[in-house]
Amino acid sequence: MSTIKKLLNWKVIALVISTIILGLFAVYGERLERLQRVITLYDKDKIVANFLGMRHIFNTTTIAASSQPLKLDHVEQSLPESFSFDGEDINVKTFLKQSSTTGFLVLHNGHIITEEYYLGQRASGQHMSFSMAKSFVSALFGIAMAEGHIQSIEQTVTDYVPELKGSGYDGVRIKDVLQMSSGVRFNEDYGDYNSDINRFSRTVAFGQPLDEFVKTLEREREPGTYHHYVSIDTQVLGMVLTRATGKTLSAYLQEKIWQPLGMEFAADWITDDTGMELALGGLNVSLRDYARFGQLYLQQGQVNGQQLVPAQWVIDSTSADAPHVMPGENNPASDSVHGYGYQWWIPLHTHNVFQAQGIYSQYMRIDREANSVIVKTSANYLYNDKSHQWSAKHNALMDAINAHLILHAH
């Protein structure tokens, strides 16, 4: 073959390869770009912009602001300047900076006593909820029960989502899923390419159906016997809700909570390409509206004389009622020292306290005795550095604030 023919053949091959690559980008370009954003989601130089702007990365549905926003008054009140941890006094302002706080708000007796924004965040800005979204899903579940869409938490998830038959969720009680005790195996090893968490991350990145991923999980333990935190359990609750109500989670949240509670700003909920919400952690909400939701639970689900979430559901969902979900440092039937209700945490060594929390230092704590709600959003790029003991320090900070409020209330 002559040199000219060889060159022509290589040009043809190069043209074919280029055409294939361009075709792939034309079809999958948006998904490939989304995958790249997911891979760099927590990078130090990108994490703040990502957490404040998830709607620019993923598909989302919008929950409109209420037509009658619930006013939150500001009242001057002191807060502790430092808190104690492991015998050391830590300055609050310093800690907020070290943990890359984007928003910090404290409600006491229904009034804002501090509201601070950092790293470019503002009052109207949204922030990714991560697992704090689970507690919103729990509220919707209680409402759906009261409205008769769901008959009992003693029913199984497959009563409402029959396509999960044959999966790890086949025949599992709704209550066990609410309490993160489904018995489903879930590998959260980020270093294992084929782990469940990495497979799930790729599903989210490519916008593929979240429902299909759920079907791939298998049984590990007898349901209702061991508390193992599996975020996909909340995704299953979302599936049950959408089947039972006939509405999307976003539409139901808009109708049952956002509008009547008087949420001041719009929220966005991440979805897959089919429109199903990322129930386990995809809500993006303003700091004040996180606080309004916390205040709703502090008031036993009631606002302005209207019972939005059944009072008994609030009590039940923020209580631990079985040995495997009780708080305790040596609970052999739990992988956490903290207790667990229906998608709400019950912190160790606390009384009348419950909280929602998410990775990278997101917190919404409700303290009935202090009559307070504390909300903290963060873009903590050092979150995975265990030497910082972030969770323990955040709990110590919130304990100190509430102890101060209780002390100075009398």
Domain positions in the chain:
1-39, 47-407
Query: Does residue 251 contact residue 241 with C-beta atoms inside 8 Å?
Result: no
What distance in Å separates the CA atoms of residue 233 and residue 182, rounded to the nearest whole number? 7
pLDDT per position in the chain (410 positions), as tens? Answer: 566 655 556 655 655 555 554 443 444 456 677 777 778 889 999 999 999 999 999 999 999 999 999 999 999 999 999 999 999 999 999 999 999 999 999 999 999 999 999 999 999 999 999 999 999 999 999 999 999 999 999 999 999 999 999 999 999 999 999 999 999 999 877 667 888 888 888 888 888 899 999 999 999 999 999 999 999 999 999 999 999 999 999 999 999 999 999 999 999 999 999 999 999 999 999 999 999 999 999 999 999 999 999 999 999 999 999 999 999 999 999 999 999 999 999 999 999 999 999 999 999 999 999 999 999 999 999 998 999 999 999 999 999 999 999 998 86
Does residue 377 contact residue 102 with C-beta atoms inside 8 Å? yes
Strands (E), 205-346: 267-271, 283-285, 302-303, 306-307, 339-340, 345-346
What burial letters (b/e) apply to 309-346, b meaning 16+ CB within 10 Å? bbeebbebbbebebebbbbbeebebbebebbbbbbbbb
Strands (E), 257-348: 267-271, 283-285, 302-303, 306-307, 339-340, 345-346
Axis crossing angle, helix 3-39 with helix 196-205, rounded to the nearest 10 = 110
| Per-residue pLDDT at 27 | 44
Angle subtended at Cα 384 by Cα 399 and Cα 207, rounded to the nearest 5 degrees: 110
Per the CB < 8 A criterion, the answer to whether 316 and 145 are in contact is: no
Among residues 147, 168, 137, 310, which one has the least CA distance to residue 244?
A: 147
Locate 178 and state its tokens: 């609410």
Say which CATH superfamily domain 47-407 falls into. DD-peptidase/beta-lactamase superfamily (3.40.710.10)
Residue 285 and residue 269: Cα distance in Å, rounded?
9
**Predicted pLDDT of residue 204:** 85
What are the b/e assignments for 225-250, b being 16+ CB within 10 Å? ebbbbbbbbbbbbbbbbbbbbebbbb
And the tokens for 348?
Answer: 């160790």
- Return the number of other C-beta atoms located less than 10 Å from residue 266's C-beta: 19
pLDDT at 326: 97
Say what the pLDDT of residue 187 is. 87
- pLDDT score recorded for residue 189: 76
**What's the whole-model pTM score?**
0.92
- CA 213 – CA 229 distance, rounded (Å): 17
Do residues 286 and 267 lie in contact, with contact meaning Cβ atoms separated by under 8 Å? yes
Across-strand partners of 372? 108, 367
The beta-carbon contacts of 398-401 under 8 Å, at least 24 apart in sequence, are 398/355, 398/363, 398/365, 398/367, 398/374, 399/83, 399/350, 400/80, 400/82, 400/83, 400/84, 401/79, 401/80, 401/83, 401/106, 401/370, 401/372, 401/374
| 114, 79 contact by CB (below 8 A) | yes
> 410 and 130 in contact (C-beta within 8 Å)?
no
- In order of 88, 224, 403, the CA distances from 82 in angstroms are 10, 41, 12
Half-sphere exposure in the Cβ direction for 107 (13 Å, CA): 28
